[in-house]
Amino acid sequence: MRRTKYHINKSALFSPIQIAWTPPIHLTPGLLINCGFCGFSVSKVLNLFTSTRHQYLSDKLQAPNTPPSGPTGGEAGRAPAAPLDRRFCAAPMMDWSDRHCRVFWRQLTKRAVFYTEMVTTGALLHGDVRRHLDYSEEEHPLALQVGGNEPDALATAAKLAEQWQYREINLNCGCPSDRVQNGFFGACLMTRPGMVADGVKAMKDATALPVTVKHRIGVDDQEGYGPLRDFVGAVADAGSDAVIVHARKAWLKGLSPKENREIPPLNYPMVYRLKNDFPELEVIINGGIEDVRAGLNHLSHVDGIMLGRSAYHTPWVLADVDQQIYGGASPVTDRLDAIRGLYDYIEKELTAGTRLHHITRHTLGLFNGLGGAKQFRRHLSQHAHRDDAGIETLENALSFIEAARERAAQRRAETESLGQLSA
Ligand SMILES: Cc1cc2nc3c(=O)[nH]c(=O)nc-3n(C[C@H](O)[C@H](O)[C@H](O)COP(=O)(O)O)c2cc1C
């Protein structure tokens, strides 16, 4: 049976004073009073929650960092979100794929599924929930990635993901960092399929959102296909809707996270084999895919591809996605428009106190390989962190690209006229 869901109206964040009747959580009517100036919100829940599982969220709804809800925010007021089409995904990347980066990427593809950086369940339970979960509407389709191992905490995270209108919750079982290992989550969870299955089940029980797992093909001394098959079998049995498989092992001792993305060899056939053995399970392949063309080869073996570093370092690869993967039109044909399309967002963010650099740092690779790219990068690196940096700073940076284009056009014209003269 489909559950009726009520969601937050994120635009309410920006309205100065809001008083609205709102159902803050499943079928529970409440009163929300929100002050958009100071961000303080009071949500008075009229109906008491009946189950203890809901008690934590009830508490969250009373807390100052509760998201403001609004009467138009829920699915009651709009069509339910379409099922996610994960044929192309952009990877979660800590400190890289932040909300500004994702808004920039959205200039290049409207269809790709984006993933947040990993947020730990501890941060969600004890930290500033709004800071961790807020995003802009235009980032959709957007999935929340969490790190954790404790079923109740994961269930709470899943509820929050739904409340914040994410389209999927993804569990990180691929990160090899020491910090993550100390908390016994991330890649080391691959040695404990039962624990991951319990977490997946808890999330499935807590939310109607798709629940997925991102993992490696193994860790440390796990040899061959068997441990991977057993791990995926356990999470599939627990109800995982998809797995995203980084096609290399993680070596938990002796390699840094960066080395763990480079040194263990890629093994794509092992991921293809998973799809063969679990035909009902959606399998997304990740690791070392350079661009959409390279990704297309994988799509005859698995359901989707995920790109990380190549999308970040050379974001223009994303401009091929809507056409080549989804068969639609590309939202942008000129790289300059990908920058200028951000201006409204930038103005809003600058007004809210964000520095230009925090947004433009994600755009530095956009013109890589083209005339003026070096000067574009250098200009932004030197000026975008300043207090008074704004749209003009960006326009000045773009002027190097435009000047290089003019020079190239002039050279072409001269070559052509020379050709005509000698003909
Ligand atoms: C800077 C950086 C941060 C990352 N942070 C995360 C993360 O938070 N969660 C996660 O599951 N993977 C993370 N990854 C791994 C990527 O999601 C991806 O699995 C990996 O980079 C391999 O894909 P690629 O070869 O396309 O980059 C990170 C990778 C990078 C480069």
Tens digits of per-residue pLDDT, 177-200?
A: 998 988 999 999 999 999 999 999
Q: What is the pLDDT of residues 281-296, one digit of tens each?
A: 999 999 999 999 999 9
Q: Is 218 marked as binding a ligand?
A: no
CA distances from 31 to 37, 70, 74 (A): 19, 10, 15
83 lies in a domain? no
Is the C-beta atom of 93 inside 6 A of ligand 1?
Answer: yes
Position 156 confidence tier, pLDDT thresholds 50, 70, 90 = very high
- CA-nearest residue for atom 14, ligand 1, is 93
Which domain range does residue 256 map to? 88-324
Share of the chain above pLDDT 90, in %: 76
Statement to judge: residues 300 and 166 lie in one domain? yes
Statement to judge: residues 133 and 277 lie in one domain? yes
Residues forming the active site: 175
Query: Helices 151-163 & 55-62, crossing angle to 10 degrees?
Result: 50
236 lies in a domain? yes
DSSP state string for 26-51: TTEEEEEEEETTT--EEEEESSPP-S
Mean pLDDT, the chain, whole residue set = 85
Where is the domain boundary, 291, 324, 357?
324
Q: 36 CB contacts (<8 Å, ≥6 apart)?
A: 12, 13, 14, 15, 16, 17, 18, 68
Which of 193, 198, 175, 194 has the alpha carbon at shortest distance from 185?
175
Is the C-beta atom of 92 inside 6 A of ligand 1?
Answer: yes
Give the C-alpha separation, 119 to 79, whole Å.
28
| CATH code for the domain of 109 | 3.20.20.70
Statement to judge: residues 143 and 177 lie in one domain? yes
Across 256-262, average pLDDT: 95
What does DSSP assign to residue 71?
T
Position 9 confidence tier, pLDDT thresholds 50, 70, 90 = very low
Ranking 23-37, 158-172, 350-364 by mean pLDDT, the lowest is 23-37
CB 315 within 8 A of CB 91: no
pLDDT at position 181 is 87
Report the nearest atom of ligand 1 relative to the CA of 117. 8
Helix, strand, or coil (residue 104): helix
What does DSSP assign to residue 208?
S
pLDDT at position 41 is 33
Give the C-alpha separation, 293 to 103, whole Å.
24
Statement to judge: residues 137 and 284 lie in one domain? yes
H or E segment and range at residue 212: strand 211-216
Statement to judge: residues 351 and 268 lie in one domain? no
Across 383-403, average pLDDT: 98
Ligand 1 binding pocket mutation candidate from 94, 114, 172, 291 (most atoms within 8 A of CB): 94
Q: Rounded to the nearest whole angstrom, what is the distance from the C-alpha of residue 336 to the centroid of ligand 1?
A: 27
Does the pLDDT at position 205 exceed 90?
A: yes
Q: Is 374 marked as binding a ligand?
A: no
Statement to judge: residues 164 and 290 lie in one domain? yes
284 lies in a domain? yes
Statement to judge: residues 285 and 389 lie in one domain? no
Position 29 confidence tier, pLDDT thresholds 50, 70, 90 = very low
pLDDT at position 420 is 82
Is the C-beta atom of 118 inside 6 A of ligand 1?
Answer: yes
Which of 198, 102, 110 has the alpha carbon at shortest distance from 153?
198
Statement to judge: residues 242 and 350 lie in one domain? no
Beta bridge pairs of residue 172 = 214
Q: What is the pLDDT of residues 95-133, one digit of tens each?
A: 999 999 999 999 999 999 999 999 999 999 999 999 999
Ligand 1 binding pocket mutation candidate from 88, 256, 261 (most atoms within 8 A of CB): 261
4 lies in a domain? no
- The residue ranking higher by pLDDT, 5 or 292, is 292
Q: 260 CB contacts (<8 Å, ≥6 apart)?
A: 176, 248, 250, 251
Statement to judge: residues 303 and 264 lie in one domain? yes
pLDDT at position 91 is 98
pLDDT at position 330 is 97
Statement to judge: residues 183 and 295 lie in one domain? yes
102 lies in a domain? yes
Q: Is 224 marked as binding a ligand?
A: no
Is the C-beta atom of 73 inside 6 A of ligand 1?
Answer: no
Statement to judge: residues 299 and 352 lie in one domain? no
Statement to judge: residues 385 and 355 lie in one domain? yes
Counting the structural domains of the chain, the total is 3
Is the C-beta atom of 94 inside 6 A of ligand 1?
Answer: yes
Q: Rounded to the nearest whole angstrom, what is the distance from the C-alpha of residue 34 to the centroid of ligand 1?
A: 37
Is the C-beta atom of 117 inside 6 A of ligand 1?
Answer: yes
CB 154 within 8 A of CB 122: no
Ranking 18-32, 315-329, 333-347 by mean pLDDT, the lowest is 18-32
Where is the domain boundary, 296, 324, 352?
324
82 lies in a domain? no
201 lies in a domain? yes
Where is the domain boundary, 262, 291, 324?
324
Q: Is 214 marked as binding a ligand?
A: yes
48 lies in a domain? yes
Q: Rounded to the nearest whole angstrom, what is the distance from the C-alpha of residue 2 to the centroid of ligand 1?
A: 34
What does DSSP assign to residue 334?
S
Sheet arrangement for strand 17-25: 17-25, 28-35, 41-45
Q: Is 313 marked as binding a ligand?
A: no
Q: What is the pLDDT of residues 46-67, one digit of tens each?
A: 222 323 333 434 344 333 334 4
Is the C-beta atom of 289 inside 6 A of ligand 1?
Answer: yes
CA distances from 42 to 27, 281, 315 (A): 19, 42, 41
